[in-house]
Amino acid sequence: EDKVVQSPLSLVVHEGDTVTLNCSYEVTNFRSLLWYKQEKKAPTFLFMLTSSGIEKKSGRLSSILDKKELFSILNITATQTGDSAIYLCAVAGPRNKLVFGAGTILRVKS
Amino acid sequence: EAGVAQSPRYKIIEKRQSVAFWCNPISGHATLYWYQQILGQGPKLLIQFQNNGVVDDSQLPKDRFSAERLKGVDSTLKIQPAKLEDSAVYLCASSLLGGASSVAEQYFGPGTRLTVT
């Protein structure tokens, strides 16, 4: 059975801290790995990773994939209170079917 | 570009009642997905349509859940009869592609929060 595991389940940091969120997976016929940010209800797309070792960056957020070790990390530098959210990792298999992890709850304190 | 639209945003029903949710995907998106997100868990795919055909409904509890996407645009998801464990947020998403060899980011609607009492 396909599985995506995220860690930690939750963490609390102070503004300005750097955080690293982890995602490991066991999925047959891997196509891509995606990161989403979920505030309130709708997950919003952050990154899609398909190749190992190539960092994707958007502002203070970056992510990288290791297809040999089957994991990805999401880094957030200089955290702000607006970064408080649930961060979801999902892996896409054939036909773009996504399998999600349970998410990491991030709380940034001012 | 308008996003994925869903209605209603909230619904409270008693167990054994029926309920329906509606989704209108982003214009031009051929693939539409319904997810169930139970509190504390990630979204779980219930059903995936490509145009008006079902691609994957392996995790849809077919004894009580049904979905359709007539004309390949908007879609409805129905639960009949509802159980307490159906309390969750129901998310609709759409993507531009979705064939066997393609990958594409999925865009999510605001969801419908269902409470079954």
Q: Are B76 and B68 in contact (CB under 8 A)?
A: yes
Check CB contact under 8 Å for A41 and B95.
no
**Set of chain A residues whose Cβ sits within 8 Å of the Cβ of B107:** 45
Domains of chain B: 5-109 (2.60.40.10)
How many domains does chain A fold into? 1
Give the pair of three-digit tokens for residue A27: 């999925």
Instruction: Residue A65: give the domain boundaries.
Output: 3-109
Give the C-alpha distances (Å, rounded to integers) separating B103 from A92, A97, B47: 7, 9, 17
In what order do the strands lie in the sheet containing A71-76? A3-7, A19-26, A71-76, A61-66, A56-58
**Residues 6 or more apart whose Cβ sits within 8 Å of residue A99:** A2, A3, A4, A25, A27, A90, A91, A93, B45
The minimal CB distance from A48 to the residues B31, B43, B105 is found for B105
Cα nearest neighbour of A94 on chain B: B100
Is residue B104 pLDDT above 80, yes or no? no
Is residue B101 pLDDT above 70, yes or no? no
Averaged over A2-21, what is the pLDDT?
96
Q: Is B27 on the interface with A (CB under 8 A)?
A: no
* pLDDT: which is higher, A54 or A108: A108
Contacts 24+ apart (CB under 8 A), B55-61: B55/A95, B55/B31, B55/B98, B56/A95, B56/A97
Q: Are B39 and B23 in contact (CB under 8 A)?
A: no
Q: For B97, phi and psi rounded to 5 degrees?
A: -115, -155
**What totals of helices (H) and strands (E) does chain B contain, helices first?**
0, 11
pLDDT grade for B99, boundaries at 50, 70 and 90: low
Q: Are B48 and A95 in contact (CB under 8 A)?
A: yes
**Residues 6 or more apart whose Cβ sits within 8 Å of residue A58:** A46, A47
pLDDT digits (tens, 9 = 90+) for A55-71: 999 999 999 999 999 99
Cα nearest neighbour of B49 on chain A: A95
Q: Are B74 and B22 in contact (CB under 8 A)?
A: yes
In the prediction, which pLDDT does A83 show?
97
Nearest 5°: the CA angle B76, B92, B111 is 100
pLDDT digits (tens, 9 = 90+) for B12-66: 999 999 999 999 999 989 999 999 999 999 999 999 999 889 999 999 999 999 9
Domain containing residue A52: CATH number: 2.60.40.10
